[in-house]
Amino acid sequence: MLTYPAELISTYFFSRPIKDYNKKLIEKRFVDCYEVEIITESNGGMYIDDQYFPVKKRDTIFRYPGQTTQGIIPYSCYTIRFKTLDPLFKQVATNNITPVTNEYSEQLFQIVEDIFNENINYNFLSNYYFQFQLARLIYLFLQIFHPEANKLIGTQKVRNPYVSECITFVQSHWQDVCIDDLVIRTGITKPYLMKILKKETGRTLLSYINEIRVFHIKKLLIFTNDDLTTISMKTGFKSSSYFSSYFLKHTNLSPKEFRKKHRI
């Protein structure tokens, strides 16, 4: 899939401090690009497409082109405005990104602040820096809000301690781990364990084990000179023929084809 560059339009600090301003509805405006705001203080709120959101310190506000917005001061915030033609981001921005959230503000704030600081110290390399940081920002939004993102190998969203324990154990014992090992490890029933892992990660326990195992097999095929028999033994397979059929099933490539494709 092609990716599309992002262009920084502007950055500014909107300052209406609590100590200096009473509650007041400010002018309604049309949103003509993507906007991300990090609230630094607030006793106010925000209308986005005529829906009201109370806002507080460290909230992240997200708006996309075509929306309307109207703030209720007092509040102050960092703001960055950017454009991109990326169709995947447009889809997620329109359908999935929460207009106001506090959960991921620490991660988002660092990127927003870095872009803001670079812009007030603009130099001949700044546009390259903006491209880099905006790509990070878009990636983070996609990683957090894309409905399929939790099916990827990354486990940044996992909150349930049983699921976290399973993931850690699988990543350390991927060669020979089985579902019963995880049931014993967590002390909960198999049906409940499978249910909560599916809820947290979007995939079954067995498919997660397979993903981790295939990932490590790929690394061995690329970064070692081991023959297939040796790799099959290292990865918990008693038969090299079963190892090859297992890898083919999960990648649509034989181990030899995969190695040839990714290693020169």
DSSP 8-state code for residue 202: S
- Cα radius of gyration rounded to whole Å, the chain: 24
Strand runs labelled E in 86-169: 100-101
Domains and CATH numbers, the chain: 6-147 (2.60.120.280), 161-262 (1.10.10.60)
Q: What is the pLDDT of residue 107?
A: 84
Q: Give the C-alpha separation, 12 to 237, whole Å.
A: 58
Q: Give the C-alpha separation, 50 to 104, whole Å.
A: 24
Instruction: Using pLDDT thresholds of 50, 70 and 90, give the confidence band for residue 1.
Output: low
State if pTM tops 0.75. Answer: no
- Residue 206 near residue 172, CB atoms below 8 Å: no
Res. 3: pLDDT tops 80? no
Q: Which one has a higher pLDDT value, 150 or 90?
A: 90
Q: Which one has a higher pLDDT value, 156 or 88?
A: 88
Tokens of 66: 């075509």
Q: What is the pLDDT of residue 182?
A: 92
Instruction: Using pLDDT thresholds of 50, 70 and 90, give the confidence band for residue 222.
Output: very high
Q: What is the pLDDT of residue 158?
A: 64
Q: What is the pLDDT of residue 14?
A: 95
Q: What is the pLDDT of residue 56?
A: 95
- What tens digit of pLDDT does each residue of 121-137 get? 999 999 999 999 999 99
Q: What is the pLDDT of residue 171?
A: 85
- What tens digit of pLDDT does each residue of 160-172 get? 788 888 888 888 8
Strand runs labelled E in the chain: 6-16, 24-25, 29-30, 34-42, 45-48, 51-54, 60-63, 68-73, 75-84, 100-101
Task: Classify the phi-psi angles of 24: left when phi > 0, otherwise alpha if psi is within -120 to 50, otherwise beta.
Answer: beta
Mean pLDDT for the chain overall: 91
Residue with token string 């106010």: 44
Which of 13-27, 56-70, 169-183 bottoms out in mean pLDDT, i.e. has the lowest? Answer: 169-183
What's the average model confidence in pLDDT over 71-84?
Answer: 97
Q: What is the pLDDT of residue 127?
A: 96
The string over 170-207, giving b where at least 16 C-beta atoms fall within 10 Å of a residue's C-beta and e elsewhere, is beebbeebebeebbebbeeeeeebbebbeebbbbebee
- Residue 90 near residue 139, CB atoms below 8 Å: no
Q: Give the C-alpha separation, 125 to 118, whole Å.
A: 10
- What tens digit of pLDDT does each residue of 169-185 get? 888 888 989 899 999 98
What's the average model confidence in pLDDT over 190-211?
Answer: 87
Res. 16: pLDDT tops 60? yes
